[in-house]
């Protein structure tokens, strides 16, 4: 939907499917009034921004239901919500064409017990002093685990693993997500007991230091083999000598990565309050070490925990750190990840027993697991991530609050107009409208989002618009100008009450008249008059230098057509295949007062319902030059001062 540009192939004619008889390179701009380049949920580019969320989605086979065969709209949802995704090769190889910001998963030294490599190279498996094979201490049954631990110091195994990684990267992944990059010994006898393996190089039991040396050396080899690939290490943050991150081998491993994944994030129930080895304080200090080495972290939450994981991310965010949450799916995306709380005013600090960090657009407060309850009242006017007022907050241990600055003065709606004609007399169901006012949204424009189910979002950057309490799909929002779609649910009413909300504050209701249809046509100047945004049969934009010939078909775009058949769905994006929703009311078009034959009158494929397209044949007898063109739907006429150039 965002920035979509479609172009017909060949001339317009009756036999061609209506949705592909046009060429619409400027319609997206007309909808967005050419205000700004689109911005999206969260941070989806590599541009550093510590005040917004770079969301990395870690997936498993359970997530395949979403990625296996997504529609075009669903593909776009992934592209506009996930900064990156961790996926698996070869499953996702053929899908990189629609999502390229993918890193591929691989276990650094764990090999499944049924893998052919087990029988091909049994000598590569680490063993205890009795010669028993050792496992990765994960997914164990009490007598065995699902993966053997292979000897990552073995040159043959190292080259084999590097070869596998090279093949994965050659498919087009931007990087590697390496699991079990363990600087702490994690080999097991299958019964949950950690067993230090025999070092195949010396015949003696490995020490923790030797294990670290071998692991750090292997990660360095991988870094040297793939100097341009993005590399993520899923590693244990508290490994090595203390304080965490100061061990030389740990630092060598960090230097071999671009991101260090903090599995379980700040919500790890094993993290304690205070300043001990396994405290949240120690983990945050470890992040500081990672940053000092020029690297980033991923705060990887396992479960949804509202503000707590988000606040932990903001406490350490330095610009290109990332946040993940294994519980998120396209069907339960949380709008708390959509906020941009601005530029940090400094680092985190202790404040009344909690962690605090201040930003230009808000304040972050986090009370660690196990800490005493704290009631806090930071200076300022704030709203919470759910939009409610938040002057004072009470946080138990394991709770946090991300507070966003509230508008300093009231929201005002100064006027509402048809987005195409700028008429403000009355409005129809499904009409795209432009709203003018003050304090209605963020200072920078935020443009539309399409959710996973193919509908426009009704909340952008803390802004909402409602008609009689019914949430309206949003085209764009800003402080002084926003655009929304009148819900089809107002059909049959005579009036409706419009309310604009931003960060919990609401405007006074504004009464608007409702009529069955109120058509307006888009103009090239985006002000509703003069040359229409019309396309000729050959695909050129209609103008005095490219006039339309009599008998040819021209394509018009507008909004305010009223109800559709079949019935319109508020915020729905039209599919790419016919049949398409048709305008329910009687439609007629005149050029210079002469009636036209119509070839199509309905919704625009791949655009939101409420934007209409009419294909009209230029009648004989129309005088050359700029002629007025008027659309009537059920007796309601479009603006009279729009023109089309005739040959």
Distances (CA, A) of 476 to 91, 437, 448, 461, 535: 36, 14, 5, 10, 25
Check residue 208 and report its DSSP letter: H
User: Which pLDDT value is given to residue 31?
Assistant: 52
User: Which pLDDT value is given to residue 406?
Assistant: 80
Residue 334 tokens read as 């949380």
User: Which pLDDT value is given to residue 274?
Assistant: 93
Per-residue 3-state assignment (H helix, E strand, C coil) for 309-320: HHHHHHHHCCCC
User: Which pLDDT value is given to residue 527?
Assistant: 82
User: Which pLDDT value is given to residue 15?
Assistant: 30
| N-term to C-term CA, the chain | 34
Instruction: Give the separation between CA 507 and CA 440, rounded to whole angstroms.
Output: 8
Distances (CA, A) of 369 to 182, 264, 277: 25, 13, 15
Contacts of 320 by beta carbon, 8 Å cutoff, 6+ apart: 46, 48, 54, 296
- CATH class of the domain at 71-257: alpha beta
* Chunked mean pLDDT (size 10), the chain, 647 residues: 28 34 43 38 82 95 95 86 96 97 97 97 97 94 93 98 98 97 93 94 96 98 98 96 94 98 96 94 98 98 92 97 96 88 94 96 95 94 82 93 84 91 93 93 84 88 94 93 96 95 89 95 89 94 95 96 95 89 96 96 92 96 96 95 95
**Cβ atoms of 593 and 524 closer than 8 Å:** no
User: Which pLDDT value is given to residue 444?
Assistant: 81
Domains 71-257 and 412-513 agree in fold: no
Distances (CA, A) of 211 to 125, 199, 263, 482: 15, 9, 21, 59
Residue 646 tokens read as 């005739």
Structure-derived torsion over alpha carbons of residues 451, 454, 460, 465, reported in degrees to the nearest 10: -140
Instruction: Give the separation between CA 8 and CA 537, rounded to whole angstroms.
Output: 10
Residue 98 tokens read as 């629609």
User: Which pLDDT value is given to residue 339?
Assistant: 84
The domain limits of the chain are: 18-36+519-646, 71-257, 412-513
- CATH class of the domain at 412-513: mainly beta
**Cβ atoms of 63 and 37 closer than 8 Å:** no
Q: Is the dihedral of CA 323, 329, 333, 338 positive or negative?
A: positive
User: Which pLDDT value is given to residue 621?
Assistant: 92
User: Which pLDDT value is given to residue 445?
Assistant: 84
């Amino acid at each position: 939907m965002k920035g979509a540009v479609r172009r017909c192939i060949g001339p317009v004619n009756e036999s061609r499917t209506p949705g592909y008889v046009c060429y619409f390179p400027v319609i997206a701009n007309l909808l967005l009034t050419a205000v700004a380049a689109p911005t999206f949920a969260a941070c989806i580019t590599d541009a550093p921004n510590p005040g917004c969320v770079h969301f990395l989605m870690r997936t498993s086979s359970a997530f395949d239901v979403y990625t296996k065969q997504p529609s075009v709209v669903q593909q776009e949802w992934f592209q506009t919500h996930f900064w990156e995704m961790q996926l698996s090769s070869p499953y996702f190889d053929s899908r990189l064409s629609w999502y390229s910001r993918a890193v591929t998963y691989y276990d650094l030294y764990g090999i499944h017990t049924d893998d052919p490599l087990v029988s091909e190279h049994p000598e590569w498996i680490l063993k205890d002093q009795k010669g028993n094979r050792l496992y990765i201490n994960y997914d164990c049954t009490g007598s065995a685990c699902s993966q053997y631990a292979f000897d990552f110091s073995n040159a043959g195994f190292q080259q084999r693993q590097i070869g596998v990684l090279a093949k994965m990267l050659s498919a087009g992944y931007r990087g590697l997500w390496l699991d079990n990059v363990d600087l702490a010994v994690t080999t097991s006898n299958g019964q949950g007991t950690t067993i230090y393996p025999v070092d195949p190089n010396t015949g003696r039991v490995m020490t923790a230091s030797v294990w670290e040396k071998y692991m750090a050396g292997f990660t360095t080899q991988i870094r040297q083999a793939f100097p341009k690939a993005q590399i993520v290490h899923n590693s244990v943050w508290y490994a090595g000598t203390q304080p965490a991150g100061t061990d030389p081998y740990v630092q060598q491993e960090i230097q071999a990565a671009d991101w260090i994944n903090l599995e379980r994030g700040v919500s790890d129930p094993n993290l304690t309050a205070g300043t001990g080895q396994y405290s949240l304080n120690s983990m945050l200090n470890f992040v500081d070490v990672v940053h000092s080495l020029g690297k980033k972290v991923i705060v990887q939450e396992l479960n949804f925990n509202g503000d707590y994981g988000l606040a932990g991310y903001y406490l350490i965010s330095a610009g290109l750190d990332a946040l993940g949450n294994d519980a998120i799916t396209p069907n339960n995306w949380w709008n708390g990840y959509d906020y941009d709380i601005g530029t940090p005013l400094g680092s985190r600090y202790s404040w009344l027993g909690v962690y605090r960090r201040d930003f230009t657009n808000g304040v972050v407060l986090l009370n660690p697991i196990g800490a005493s309850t704290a009631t806090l009242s930071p200076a300022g006017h704030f709203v919470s991530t759910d939009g409610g007022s938040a002057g004072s907050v009470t946080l138990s241990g394991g709770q946090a609050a991300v507070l966003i600055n509230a508008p300093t003065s009231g929201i005002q709606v100064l006027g509402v107009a048809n987005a195409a004609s700028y008429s403000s007399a009355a409005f129809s169901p499904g009409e795209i409208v432009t709203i003018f006012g003050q304090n209605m949204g963020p200072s920078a424009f935020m443009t539309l989002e399409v959710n996973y189910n193919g509908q426009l979002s009704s909340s952008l950057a803390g802004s909402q618009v409602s008609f009689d309490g019914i949430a309206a799909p949003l085209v764009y929002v800003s402080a002084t100008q926003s655009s929304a779609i009148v819900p089809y649910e107002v059909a049959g009413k005579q009036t409706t009450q419009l309310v604009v909300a931003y960060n919990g504050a609401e405007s006074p209701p504004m009464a608007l008249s409702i009529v069955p249809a109120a058509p307006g046509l888009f103009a090239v100047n985006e002000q509703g008059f003069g040359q229409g945004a019309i396309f000729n049969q050959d695909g050129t934009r209609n103008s005095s230098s490219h006039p339309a010939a009599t008998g040819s078909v021209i394509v018009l775009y507008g909004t305010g057509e009223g109800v559709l058949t079949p019935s319109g769905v508020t915020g729905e994006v039209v599919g790419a295949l016919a049949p398409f929703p048709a305008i329910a009311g009687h439609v007629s078009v005149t050029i210079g007062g002469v009636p036209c034959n119509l070839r199509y009158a309905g919704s625009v494929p791949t655009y939101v319902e409420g934007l209409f397209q009419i294909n009209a044949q230029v009648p004989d007898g129309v005088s050359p030059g700029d002629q007025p063109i008027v659309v009537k739907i059920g007796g309601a006429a479009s603006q009279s001062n729009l023109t089309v150039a005739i040959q």
